């Protein structure tokens, strides 16, 4: 369910990264502290934050902001500026693989804009 709402949750990939281990492994399901924290954080976002994404307006300037400060993922936010106020259109995020994690923050953020 959380994946369906990923465009409403800022830095979804970085927050949900500890839960990815459950998809990859077969066998016993063991929930450790970091998985529980990720689950609780996503749950909090889903029940407490209003879904206030806007439809884009083509005649308004867009802002594309990237954040690669997480070790595991890149967050991208597409916003528009109306009357000096920024309105979020969509949040995007991407998990980094082992090679991408070795890149500089600048390279990761450029990659996030491409993705």
Residues 4-44: tens digit of each pLDDT: 677 777 777 778 878 876 666 666 667 888 888 888 888 88
Residues 60-113: tens digit of each pLDDT: 999 998 888 767 788 888 999 888 888 888 888 888 888 998 999 889 888 888
Residue 64: per-residue pLDDT: 92
**67 closest CA partner among 7, 115, 113:** 113
Task: Specify the number of domains making up the chain.
Answer: 1
CATH number of the structural domain spanning residue 87: 3.10.20.370
Supply the range of the domain harboring residue 73. Answer: 2-114
Output the average pLDDT for the chain: 81
DSSP 60: S
Determine the Cα–Cα distance for residues 9 and 79; give it in Å rounded to an integer: 14
């Amino acid at each position: 369910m959380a994946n369906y709402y990923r465009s409403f949750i800022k830095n979804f990939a970085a927050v949900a990264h500890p839960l990815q281990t459950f998809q990859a492994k077969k066998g016993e399901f063991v929930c450790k502290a970091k998985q529980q924290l990720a689950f609780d954080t996503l749950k909090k976002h889903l029940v407490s934050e209003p879904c206030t994404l806007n439809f884009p307006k083509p005649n308004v300037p867009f802002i594309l902001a990237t954040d690669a400060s997480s070790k595991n993922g890149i967050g991208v936010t597409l916003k528009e500026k109306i009357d000096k106020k920024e309105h979020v259109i969509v949040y995007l995020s991407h998990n980094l693989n082992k090679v991408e994690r070795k890149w500089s923050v600048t390279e990761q953020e450029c990659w996030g804009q491409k993705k």
